Amino acid sequence: MSVNNPYQAYQQNAMNTASPGELTLMLYNGCLKFIKQAKLDIEKKNIEAKNTNIIKAQNIIRELMVTLNMDVEISEQLMQMYDYLLNRLIEANLRNNIDILKEVEGFVTEFRDTWKEALQINRRMQHGQGQ
């Protein structure tokens, strides 16, 4: 199957070649994108698009939940936080509430930034060991 859109081909290639850590970072970024879009949709009173974008954000949180390695100690706390965020997204969708979306956005941004920093530290450690 050929892809006519070069950006779409680039995105597909990036996903196919990304490490598990990079995929997690992509999930966080995607979740933030859909939350931001949902906030704009609420402001524009585009309820159908808001619903679609919040559901996409919910699906990303669910994916983060099912991919947690529960053998790692911190995973139980992450599972609880993801569950909280999922419930808040559902509430934001039902109430068309931008403030709840801002709250979830703040948590996801913190997760994303921490994850990105951990990836950078890991890369530095790997490159340092390779010398």
* pLDDT tens sequence across 37-67: 999 999 999 999 999 999 999 999 999 999 9
Helix or strand run (H / E) with residue 128: helix 98-129
Contact, 34 vs 50, CB < 8 A?
no
Q: Residue 83 has what pLDDT?
A: 98
User: Is 107 part of any domain?
Assistant: yes
Residue 92 located in a structural domain: yes
Residue 113 is assigned to a structural domain of this protein:
yes
Q: What is the pTM of this model?
A: 0.85
In a domain, 4, yes or no: no
- Residue 15 within a domain: no
What pLDDT, on a 0 to 100 scale, did the predictor assign at position 127? 82
CA dist., res. 90 & res. 88, Å (int): 5
Structural domain total, the chain: 1
Please check whether residue 55 lies inside any domain of the structure. yes
Burial of 21 (0-12, 13-18, 19+ CB in 10 A): middle
Q: Determine phi and psi for 70, rounding to 5 degrees.
A: -75, -5
Over residues 66-101, the pLDDT tens digits come to: 999 999 999 999 999 999 999 999 999 999 999 999
Q: Is residue 5 part of a domain?
A: no
Q: Are 101 and 92 in contact (CB under 8 A)?
A: yes
Could you tell me which residues come within 8 angstroms of residue 42 by beta carbon, excluding any fewer than 6 positions away?
50, 96, 97, 98, 101
CATH number for the domain spanning 106: value is: 1.20.120.340
Q: Where are the beta strands (DSSP E) in 21-117?
A: none
Q: How confident is the model at residue 131 (pLDDT cuts 50, 70, 90)?
A: very low
> Residue 62: which domain range?
20-129
